[in-house]
Structure 1
Amino acid sequence: MISRNLGEDASKTKSGLTAMIPTVLGGLLGKTSGATTAPTWWNTVADLFDGDDDDDLKLGLLGDTKLDDAGKGLLGSLFGGNLDSILGSLAGASGLARDKSSKLLSTVAPMVIGFLSRWAKKKGLSFTGLIGNLMNEKSAILGALPSGIGGGLLGFADKTRDTVDDTARKVADVRTSKPKFNWTWLLLLLAALILLWLLLGRGCNRTKEKVEDAATEMVNDIDQAAADIKESIKGALNDAGDWVYDLGATIKKKLADGTEFEVGVNSVEYKLLEFIEDVNLPVDKTTWFTLDRIYFETGSSNLKAESKDQLDRLAAIMKAYPSVKLKIGGYTDNTGSDVVNMALSSERAEAAKAELINRGVAEERLEAEGYGPQHPVCPANDTPECRAKNRRVDVRVTAK
């Protein structure tokens, strides 16, 4: 099996997969978010995986030099000059050696692209239509990236939200008569199929029935292995109708000015500090961080008392890193009129900005804008949980 070929146990191989799938998907979106036609490297892999059979992963290609060559070429096309940095981060996230991370990624990448190309063909989606739908999952994909890999490394730098919106507009006609698909579950299925092969392995003399039995046994494990993709926003709805995030295990973090506080490894403070302190992550116009403990009264820009702690910490970070500047974005769900929601989101962004100023952050280091119901992190917007996730305040680093 691939774990044996890598000289690693299944656990590290599995960790590598969990980190690599969102990385490949992020690289795909970073390279194609403004594209109107499929690039040559996409067509090369799509042609390799084309066919009317049911083998969406084309297991028959395993060991074929065509797949190996496609994988090596694909990594350069997706990640360019940032490949070495990305491999280093993947190695750190998975525990695999750098060369083994490269070998695994060169196998996973064409499988991801090949699977998506076959899926799009079955659903009658053009390349642009596929990318437009995946773009709706961009926040989930970027949120699932391993530490050290941000939007800048994946090609999102200098691509504004207008570019993303333009791509969405370009695919509007493609979607008119198509049914909606649950793209998160598509990503889960992709993870499940690749993981099934990785852990069951090639070269193992297994019957189709045994593989199916093993797949059934792995269902619960698949949910855990692909949790970063499926649940980039972990938490639960509280009695007040707010989304309460799972902040993860608590660790102590020391800021540049010596200030120390405890943060959850899933918290925005942790993610923001990772971004600010990593010199290899450039400032761009697409990397946003959702403030996970900012809440407002219903239909109002009045902040709830439980928002104080995160505002205090955010101000502390700004003071510890005086060159950092932030843009604050306010968002609403889809309830009510767009006009009202745009105004409310602007008021909420300004309210968060005012609180930071009151805590000693210079006004010229902050800007605020409301986006209303645009850019939902939960595109369906059809359940109390989904709408609660979309009612939020995000920040983007504009200088560091």
Structure 2
Amino acid sequence: MGLLGPQVIGPVASQLGESTDTVQRGLQTGSAAMLAGLVAKIGQPGFLGQVFSLITNPANGPSALSNLTSNLGSLASGATSSPVANLGSQFLSSIFGSNTSSVTDSIGRSVGLSSGKAGSLLAMAAPLVLGVLGQHVRQNNLSAADLGSTLKAEAPSFQRFLPAGLGSLFGGASNLTAAVPAKVATGNRWLWPVVLLVALLLCLFWFFNRTKAPVSDAVQTASTAAANAGTSALGDFFKTKLPDGVELNIPRFGIESKLISFLGDSSKPADTTTWFNFDRLLFDTGKAELQPSSQEQLGNIAAILKAYPNAHVKIGGYTDNTGDAAANVALSSARAKNVMDALVGAGIDSSRLEYKGYGDQYPVGDNATEEGRAQNRRISLLVTQK
């Protein structure tokens, strides 16, 4: 682990307000989680081929890694729609799927970082990890099966960095210790330190440049907010006091911060286009019931509405285009109603609230991709009166 020395970790730790030890462990754990997720799913039908197609995609060609490591500022400044960055997003989705939030939560808890920081680290490091794998495949003329054996051979070197219980999120850890032919394992010690190094370099540039991003632009339309949801961090949690004296602990770039800024700005009237996306509401697939973890954000929104008693809001529910259109409208409507009912249950008068389900209307992402479909599955809030 000599590549992760204090001279490199120090500036990142300073930007985060964390100790160098915490940042180092966060990087180690995040990189280990990506690799462990790959190894644990190698035996699933079609998975290795899917990942190998990302690794060998022309966008992840010979110049991809050098371009990323020499032009990290473009990623940090918001130019995250490049082909290789999109591949990185698909890479993460392929590995973790619906377990992404659970994985980031586990990483954050294990090292003492917020889930937002852990998630941002994974999202920003993924294109570089993908680039390292692509470089190794090309240099060694590996097949998909060869790559699988290589990753299995590396498993013991990164397994020890995994948080307790994280293996269960990957469907078990049995694959992490699978035996591989000796000839494939020989010389494979390249992977782990290089992955750590490139992940650290990316985080270094991203955290440095993140502080330059404007924080005052708190109002976003649904299209802008949803399109950026997969790549933008919620930011550090901070304590803020509402006009009625209630104190909230909220993420800097979450819906709560944006809503407070909007309601407190008399120069910005209520309109029909300024939607705010909830960012910590969870539903089971195909169901309308809110998961218990959603209560924290719902409680915050209720507190904000109590502090601004003249505000009226509309809750909008949206789905992707999977399945029957009429069923999607019904599901989105039921979800929006449950959010509204939760706010009523938290003490908000129902006369200040309304809801509507839009189904797969008004997509903000490409329904042809998993990432786009995830963006389209959302609950949003519109201020109809201030």
For normalisation by structure 1, the TM-score amounts to 0.42
